[in-house]
Amino acid sequence: MNIISPALRHNVAALAELRSVPHFDAAVASISIVGLGYVGAVSSACFSSLGHPVVGVDVDTDKVRNISEGISPIVEEGLGELINAGLEQELLSATTDLYAAVLDTDITMVCVGTPTRPDGSVHLGYLEAVSDQIGAALAEKDGYHTVVIRSTIAPGVTRNTVIPRIEKASGKTAGKGFGICFHPEFLRESTAIADFFAPPKTVIGSSDDRAADTLARLYEGIPGPMIKTSIEAAEMVKYVDNTWHALKVSFANEVGRVCKANGIDSHDVMDIFCQDTKLNLSPYYMKPGFAFGGSCLPKDVRAINALADRSGVDTPLLRSITHSNTAQIEHALNLIEASGATEVGFLGVTFKKDTDDLRESPTLILMAQLMDAGYTVKAYDESLAVSRNVASQAEYLAKAAPHLASVLDKLDTVLVDSAQEMIGGPEILVVSHATDTFRDLVDRRDEHQKVVDLVRLERRTDRRPSYQGICW
C-alpha cells in the first residue's frame, strides 16, 4: 500500500486544479535545470509534476544517481515522492551531460551555487563555467533558446558576465539568437514544495519580451502576482527580500533582549506590533529567538554590503545586522556559561527544523565556541539522523567555515542516535528546534537538567528556575 504524505496529497490536488485552467498546456516546453541543490532539485520535481519534460544536470554524480533512482538528494517533505512520480511518468531524468541537456530542451534554468568570497561578494566560478558550456551547446543548436538564471547574484552580473560569455561561446546575440531571464527564487527550505505551488510573487527580469513570455507560460495557473521587470531589478530584489528577512530576525531579537532586561514579555510586545499588518507588513520572522542562519540570509547580507562598498554607499544599519546576529549567539553563550554547566546537550543542530542544511547554522557556531572553551557537547537532530548529506556538507563547511573545524572534526562523535539519550545526561539542554519530540523531552528531563530555550517551545513558558528563554 502506497502511503501519500499530506504535502504530496495537497500538491496532487493543486495540480489537478492547475490542469483544469483553460490555457494550461503541460507540454509548453521542455526544461533543463543545471544544479541539483535545494532550488534545482525542487524545481525539477515540481516542473515535471506539472507535465514538463525535465532534465536535471549536475557535476555531482551522487546527486544525479539519487535523482535517477528516485531518492531525494535533500531532506524536504514530499520531494522524494514527486521525484518518483516524475520518473514513473518518464518526465524527469538526470545527467552530468550539460551539453546534451541544452540541445534536447527549450529552456535551461541555472541553479548553481554562488558561495561567499572573503570580501562578502559571491564567487562566480560555477556560473561562469556553466555559461560557457551553455554557449558552446547553443552554437550547435538551431532556433531560439531561453536561458534562465536563478542563482543569487549581484545586480549587473547577468548582463555583464553571463550574457557576454554565452554570446562569445555561441556566436549568437542575446534577444535574438537566444533569450535570457533572471528569475529569483523565493523557496524556503522545509516548505519549498508548497512555496513553489503558491509563491508570494513570480519575478522575471528579461533581455526581451519573448524570453519573458516563454518563462511566464510555465507558471500559467499558479497563483500570485506575475512581475516582469528589468534584469537588474530582478537580481536586486532577491538581495532586498533576504536582507529584509534577516533584518526582521535581528530587530525582534534586540527587542527581546531589551524586554527581558526590563521584565517584559517580549512575545506580548511583538504580538501587538505584528497586529499592524498594513504598515509592519508581516509577522513572519518577527518572533524573538535565536540567530538567523542558512544558505541565503547570511550570504546575501554580506553581499549587499559588499555591493554598497563598491558603490561608495555607507549602510550602517545593514552592516549592523551581522553584528546583531553575532551578539545573539554571544547572548546564548553567556546564558550557558552563567548556568555553571560543563556538559551541554543540543536539541537541533541544523539552521532550522525539518531540513538537513548545516550551512551557517548559528547552533553549529555556538557548539564550536563551547567546545573551544572546553565544554563537553552532545547533540541530537531528527533530520541529520536520516540524512545522507552530512559528510558532503562537513567537507563543504570545512573549506567555507574553517572556524568551525573544532566541531566539524568531531561531529560524528558529538551526534547521538536518539533524543532519549539526552535525558539524564547533559547538565544543560539547549533547544534550537521547536519540535514535539523536544517538547516531550524537555518536559521529561531530570530535575538536575537546566534548559536554555532558543525557540520558545511553548507559548506558556516553563516557570521552573532551571528554565531560561533567550529573550523571554
Q: Which amino acid is at 259?
A: C
Strand partners, 347: 380, 431
| Catalytic residue (choose from 111, 181, 296, 471) | 296
Q: For residues 298 and 319, what is the distance between their CA atoms, to the nearest angstrom? A: 11
Task: Kindly give, in sequence order, each residue whose CB lies less than 8 Å from that of residue 140, ignoring residues fewer than 6 positions away.
Answer: 103
User: Catalytic site residue 296?
Assistant: yes
Strand partners, 469: 453
Whether the CB-CB separation of 332 and 454 falls below 8 Å is answered with yes
Burial (0-12, 13-18, 19+ Cβ within 10 Å), 83: buried
Length of the chain: 472
Whether the CB-CB separation of 289 and 470 falls below 8 Å is answered with yes
**In this structure, what C-alpha cell is assigned to residue 364?**
553549529
Q: Give Cα 239 distance to the centre of its chain.
A: 13
Whether the CB-CB separation of 452 and 335 falls below 8 Å is answered with yes
Which residues are designated catalytic?
296
